[in-house]
Amino acid sequence: MSDSIIPDGIKINQRKILVNLEFITCDKSYEYEVSLNTEEKDHENTYSLSEHIKVNVGRSWDTIVNRSDTEIEVNGLENLKLTSGSMTPCLAFIFSLVSDKETLDRLKPVREYLKNIHYYPIDEPSGVKPTDIKNFVVDSDVYFKWLSEFQSSPDPECSVIMKLIHMWKDKEEKFEELKSLLGQNGLSIINDIRIDSLSLPHALGKIPKEEQTYYFVNFYPSLESDKISKVLRYHDLSYGTRRLLRMLTAILHDESTLLLLEQPEDSIHSGLLNKLVPLLTTYVDPSQFVVTSHSSGIINNLKAKDIRLVAMKDAKTIVRALTKVELEVVEAFICEEGTLNDFLESIEIEDV
C-alpha cells in the first residue's frame, strides 16, 4: 500500500502549537502527534516538546512512544524511560541510544516517513544568485562534496543544478522523464537539457595529477519553429521557468513521501497552471502533495474532496475538509452556477 496522510488537525494559539498526523505506510496506520508548548517564567519564554507515536492494531491504537518535555517512554522495552534535551527530537534520540532490533523495526517506518516530508518554497534559496558560477559549470570535487552532504542530510532547497547532474549521472530514467515533462509533450517550456562533461588534469606538468571533471548544464528553450534554438544557462531562464524546473526536479529527484508546496502559482502563467495541476496529480502515489494556494487556476483543477479549508478561529488555526453536505452541494453548484473556487469563496470563515 502506498503512503497516505490524513490531516487530522493543525491548531495554533499563543501558548501551544499542536500537529496531529495519521498516515499509512508499509501497510500499517500510524498516528504521530507533536506539540510545542510555551511557558513564561521570570519574563522569559521557555519551550518544551510533547510527542506521541501510536500504531493501529485492529480497532485500537497501541502507544509506542510517549514523550513529555525531557522524559521519553518507549513501550515494549519494559517501559524503557529515557531523558533527553527539552527540544531534542525523540526519534533521533531513541535511534541513537536504543539497540533493541524489534523496537527499532517498529519505529523505522515512522522515522522514514517523517524524515521524507519536505517543504519546498520553490523560490531561489536565500543567499544564492542564479548567476553564481556553480549554476553553469560545476567541477567534480564540488559535485561529490554536495552529493555526500545531500545523501547524509537531504536539503530540499539545495541546488537544482546539482540535482540535474545527479539525475544525469545516476538516475537516467528520471532525467529523461523530467525532460519529457518540460518539453513539447508536457509543459512546453524547455525543449531539452543537455549536460556536457570535460576532463582535464588537476595541474599541468611532467607528472599530471588525477583528472578533474567539469560539468556544463545547458538549456534549450521551446520555440515555435524547428530551427536550431540558442543555448541558455540557468540564469537566462525566466523566473517562472526556474520555479517550475525546481518543482519538477524536486519531485522526481528527492522521492519524498510528502511534499509541501507554497503558492506554486507565483510568476507562472495561468495557461501553464492548467497543465501543471493535472501533471502533479499523476505523482500523488506513492508521494503526496500539500499545496497552499489562493489561485483559482490551482483550485479549479482540483477535486472538491481534496480541498482543505484553513482559517484562524478563537486564536487557533483550524484545518478541515469539506463536509458531506458541502460536497453534495458543490457538485450541483459546479454543474449549474460556477466554479469550485467560487463556491469556496462563498463559505464563511465561521463555517470552518
Other residues' Cβ atoms within 10 Å of the Cβ of residue 227: 7
How far apart CA 71 and CA 226 sit, in angstroms, is 66
Q: Sheet containing 16-25: which strands, arranged edge to edge?
A: 4-12, 16-25, 28-41, 44-57, 60-68, 71-74, 80-83
| pLDDT for the residue 17 | 81
Facing residues of 4 across strands? 24
How far apart CA 178 and CA 181 sit, in angstroms, is 5
| pLDDT for the residue 348 | 64
Give me the residue label for grid cell 519553429: 225
* pLDDT digits 0-9 by tens, 264-306: 888 888 888 888 888 888 887 777 888 888 889 899 999 999 9
| pLDDT for the residue 317 | 75
Q: At what angle do helices 160-170 and 172-182 cross, to 10 degrees?
A: 120
| pLDDT for the residue 1 | 34
| pLDDT for the residue 9 | 53
How far apart CA 328 and CA 144 sit, in angstroms, is 54
| pLDDT for the residue 342 | 92
3-state SS string for the chain: CCCEEEEEEEEECCCEEEEEEEEEECCEEEEEEEEEEEEEECCEEEEEEEEEEEEEECCEEEEEEEEECCEEEECCCCCEEEECCCCCCHHHHHHHHCCCHHHHHHHHHHHHHHHCEEEECCCCCCCCCCCCHHHCEEEHHHHHHHHHHHHHCCCCCCCHHHHHHHHHHHCHHHHHHHHHHHCCCCCCCEEEEEEEEEEEECCCCCCCCCEEEEEEEEEEECCCCCCCCCCECHHHCCHHHHHHHHHHHHHHHHCCCEEEEECCCCCCCHHHHHHHHHHHHCCCCCCEEEEECCCHHHHCCCCHHHCEEEEEECCEEEEEECCHHHHHHHHHHHHHCCCHHHHHHCCCHHHC
Give the list of residues 6+ apart from residue 338 with CB closer than 8 angstroms, or none: none
Q: Which residues of the chain have pLDDT under 70?
A: 1-15, 77-79, 122-135, 156-157, 202-210, 223-229, 348-352
CATH architecture of 119-302: 3-Layer(aba) Sandwich (3.40)
Spans of all domains in the chain: 4-115, 119-302
| pLDDT for the residue 75 | 85
| pLDDT for the residue 8 | 46
